[in-house]
Amino acid sequence: MKQLGIKKLYYSISEVSKITDLEQYVLRYWESEFEQLQPAKNRAGNRIYTNRDIKMILYIKKLLRDERYTIEGAKQVLHSYIHDNEGGEQLELIPPATEQTDAPPKPVENRLRNDLIEIKKFFEEMLVRLT
């Protein structure tokens, strides 16, 4: 069995398709609809997705499938949320209504630690889904 303890920096479209449980054509379509979703391409021209791209895809999936937004509605949610957070060091894909606004700003080290914990939880959930 492949060891999942090592986090990859980049994922292929087929890997992202399995992780997100979305067809590859859906991922390609969403790229054409959502300007926030623009994975890089390698020398061969293949899409390479980062963990941030995967989080964005899962958030878009939640907006469209769970919360029943239209594509236009989801675009507005993403657009307004990103503009509300301009100047921030990192985009957290959590709807603004669920953020803790009274919490003091955390040092960069704590944010990095929290991001790593979130990524670890994400992959643990994926491991459970795959087994």
Cα maximum dimension of the chain: 47
Kindly report the CATH class assigned to 13-103.
mainly alpha
Q: Pairing state of beta strands 47-48 and 40-41?
A: antiparallel
What are the tens digits of pLDDT across the range 101-122?
A: 444 444 555 666 666 777 777 7
Strands (E), 25-114: 40-41, 47-48
Domain locations in the chain?
A: 13-103
- Tens of pLDDT, residue by residue over 43-98, are 999 999 999 999 999 999 999 999 999 999 999 988 877 666 555 444 455 444 43
Specify the pTM: 0.61
> Closest by alpha carbon to 49, among 41, 89, 67, 29?
41
Specify the DSSP element, H or E, that contains 96: none
Enclosing H/E stretch for 75:
helix 71-84
